[in-house]
Structure 1
Amino acid sequence: MDYGSAITQNLLTTNNVWMMLATALVFIMHLGFAGVEAGFGQAKNTVNILFKNTVTPIIGIVSYALIGFFLMYPGFDVPGWFGFDGAGWSMFWFNPGDADITAGYADAGYTYWTDFLFQAMFAATAATIVSGAIAERVKLWAYLTFTVVFVGLVYPLIGSWKWGGGALDAMGFYDFAGSTLVHSVGGWGALAGVIMVGPRIGKYVNGKTIEKPGSSVPLAVIGVFLLWLGWFGFNGGSVLSADPGLVSLVLVTTSLGACAGGLGGFLTAYLTFKRLDLGMVLNGILAGLVGITAGADVISPIFALTIGFIAGILVVLSAILLDKLKLDDVVGAVSVHLTCGVWGTLAVGLFSNNPDHTFLTQLIGVLICGAVAFISALIIFYVLKVTIGIRVSEEHERSGLDSHEHGIRGYTIVYDE
């Protein structure tokens, strides 16, 4: 018996099973995003929000399959800024039997197909971030068109610079599971959308911010806990193997970051607003998760608490600043994913146990990725604005998008006569 071959096959199977489980956990995050957005959004727009969150992973995965995967992992011969694996595209769509799943793909860690699906879930997540920020007033077709371009082109191009072996990777930039490459890229897209679409009618009146109560606090809470659950796959799967020691450490730092973020949001909101603000605790949890994502495998538990707690503080301050600037973000996506994504990436340069990770390199990577993501998103939204339009009519916004766009309501009480 060839024990070496048996061990290799067993290791491949074990790693692959874990990666598939992680993929499923990341997939369930889309239900979490749907719950958060629908819960924080107004009842009259519930169906519209759920429709977007249902179609987003569909479009995201297909767009990524058509071009994104091959743009993101081109196999740079020399690290650079652009590459495309045309041979891989042909194999994926027409000759799947050519994908060698046993003889060294990912160092025999998992199969080619598992790799694609895991990465596709990440791509769709970047688009979902934008959805929550511009909810309740964006045209559905404009949002869906944005998603196709952003997930198919912008996100994978930026991701290739680090995860595909491009120029940022050669520079030494580090982003373990995507505080910048997923979250802040999505956050920059969300910020561009908020600027271009404008605030909801009646949100800012005479210098005051008018609260618009969400439809379901319980649904928002369920959504956040689903996201926290999914993050075990998001970060744990990013180990790219079932290595017991490293996966366990990543899950510990991920959980500690989430807990500390919730505490930071809780205390900062209490000191600022003089109330026990559940929304800020929920966003604090997400802020901590986003913050720890860049360095979950190279940060010790004590620093995971530090990063998460600071992220919880920042998410509250960021939300306050956005309102002062009259930038209307329905779910706090910019504050959670952009502000805390940037913080988490920079924190690697401060707290990583790897001396090669420097603050300056992290800062350069953040600036490059941010500039490209933000400018690209602005251009996409501008083109959509001057062509098909990006905002619904005032009448539709005031009465709710559910009735006008979908013909049904999310919450209906039927009385028997």
Structure 2
Amino acid sequence: MDISTLASGLDTIWVVLTAAMILLMEGGFALLEAGFVRQKNAVSIIMKVFVDITFGALVFYFIGFAFMYGKDFAGLIGTSGFMMGGDLTHIKLSISNDTYWLFQCAFVIAVISIVSGAVAERINFRAYILYTIAMTGLIYPVAGHWVWSVGGWLGSLGMIDFAGSAVIHALGGASALAAAIFIGPRIGKFSENGTPNIVPPSNLPLASVGAFILWFGWFGFNSGSTLSATNGSIGHIAVTTMLAAASGGASCILFTMFRYRKADPPMVINGSLAGLVGITAGCAFVSDIVAIVIGAICGIAMVFATEFLESKRVDDPVGAFAVHGVSGSIGALALGLFAKPELTEGIGQGYSGLFYGGGWSLLGVQALGLIIVIVWGFGMTWIAFKLINLFIPARVSRDEELVGLDVGTHGVPAYSQDDDFIELTKLKKS
């Protein structure tokens, strides 16, 4: 066996394993969101995650991958690769196209899961299925093509987004915001004068376990984006990922102790996730100290963003926009400031941040790309829900929301004794 064959085999194992780590993050999303919402809606969260995995994977196989990584048309969209067929010779990697699809499939499932939490406890399940098809088949793949595909117009301008602070998180956060605004707040979340009411999470230990699973999966998310087991930057990527997450959580602990006189558990959970989101774009291209700075900024910004949304009567039960939209934006822009030349040598010339002598060019491209991705995600999600709402109500009925989606939509509570379930079944049949 020659060296190139061995390297290709190692790369394949690495990418498949990291793809599996990213897919495990769906368990993290499920536990995190189930813990943040009320007990009567825990099953509905789990079902939406299953929609993400099942419909998301199938739609991405049939059309999404082609639109994202197919042969480029005018820098805007891919035109080959439907069901992994057609001309994909422009994809030049040491791994097979099937392996590459699996890794990218894990990414697209993560994107739609961001939106899931923002519309928790009041979205119509059938409408969510249709939106999942729109996101995984068109909205995310087109934005991804612009930045990551061969010939994509934003990538050609020089935009960097190593593992997706903009393409995945800012896009997902903007889409989550549009969905939350369109569907409206939960019943009772805001009083008549606009004051937000506290809706206590049902299970914070469960949510924290979900966050730890997401944290674990993020090492696959970021380090796996090298697409190579022999890439020398894997260790550095893992270190910056760890430091940013720790910094996001630590800054949130200290800031909430100062602001609220106590460390706020849901905020701290989201603070660590915000740090992870923020470092995703530049994990390979910034120093350890910069990773700590990015994480700290994201952790604090997430708190302000959460408070701002509530002041505007926008109900985001799990903080999807504050964690993903805001922190993803910070991470994408931070690259324009802190990209270190010696760390970006492998991706071409001229990739230096403002603070490393690169001038304003990279920051400008990052800002332009970020704005385009956010506008695309928000606008297309709004249009998608407008169209869906013409045929299926995007929101459940008032009675169904008050009873809870677990029983109202899926016919089973998350937590029940056998006798309780028997009585519930009788009630449904009567």
Secondary structure, aligned partner of 1:265: helix
1:129 is aligned to 2:114? yes
- RMSD across aligned C-alpha pairs, in angstroms? 1.8
Give runs of aligned pairs for residues 295-310 of structure 1, distance below 5 A: 295-310=282-297
Contact 1:15–1:110 (Cα < 8 Å) also in 2: yes
Partner of 2:53: 57
- Identity, in percent, stands at 40
1:82 is aligned to 2:69? no
- Give 1:66's aligned amino acid: F
Partner of 1:290: 277
Partner of 1:164: 149
- Give 2:412's aligned amino acid: I
CA offsets per residue over residues 125-172 of structure 1, 9 Å max, x none?
Answer: 111100001100000011110010111011001100111121001100
- Give 1:378's aligned amino acid: W
Q: Distance in 2 between matches of 1:27 and 1:83?
A: 25
Contact 1:183–1:338 (Cα < 8 Å) also in 2: yes
- Superposition deviation, residue 63 in structure 1: 0.7
CA offsets per residue over residues 207-240 of structure 1, 9 Å max, x none?
Answer: 3211111221111011000000000110011011
Residue 383 (structure 2) aligned to one of 353, 376, 379: 379
Partner of 1:47: 43
1:328 is aligned to 2:299? no
- Superposition deviation, residue 105 in structure 1: 6.1
- Superposition deviation, residue 57 in structure 1: 1.0
Residue 184 (structure 1) aligned to one of 170, 185, 203: 170
Contact 1:105–1:111 (Cα < 8 Å) also in 2: no
TM-score after normalising by structure 1 = 0.93
Ranges in structure 2 where 5+ consecutive residues have no aligned partner: 342-349, 353-361, 421-430
Contact 1:196–1:378 (Cα < 8 Å) also in 2: yes
Secondary structure, aligned partner of 1:408: coil
- Superposition deviation, residue 267 in structure 1: 1.8
CA offsets per residue over residues 317-369 of structure 1, 9 Å max, x none?
Answer: 10000000110001000100000000100000011103525211100000111
Secondary structure, aligned partner of 1:279: helix
Residue 17 (structure 1) aligned to one of 13, 27, 48: 13
Residue 209 (structure 2) aligned to one of 206, 209, 222: 222
Q: Distance in 2 between matches of 1:189 and 1:395?
A: 27
Q: Distance in 2 between matches of 1:344 and 1:394?
A: 39
Ranges in structure 1 where 5+ consecutive residues have no aligned partner: none
1:390 is aligned to 2:383? no
Secondary structure, aligned partner of 2:111: helix
Contact 2:7–2:230 (Cα < 8 Å) also in 1: no
Residue 96 (structure 2) aligned to one of 111, 117, 129: 111
Q: Spell out structure 1 runs of 4+ moving beyond 4 A.
A: none
Residue 351 (structure 2) aligned to one of 340, 350, 356: 356
- Aligned residue pairs, count: 401
CA gap 1:180/1:99 in 2 versus in 1, 3 angstroms: closer
Secondary structure, aligned partner of 1:220: helix
Residue 145 (structure 1) aligned to one of 102, 109, 130: 130
Residue 34 (structure 2) aligned to one of 29, 33, 38: 38
Q: Distance in 1 between matches of 2:180 and 2:238?
A: 33
Q: Distance in 1 between matches of 2:108 and 2:365?
A: 24
Q: Distance in 1 between matches of 2:202 and 2:398?
A: 21
Residue 27 (structure 1) aligned to one of 10, 23, 30: 23
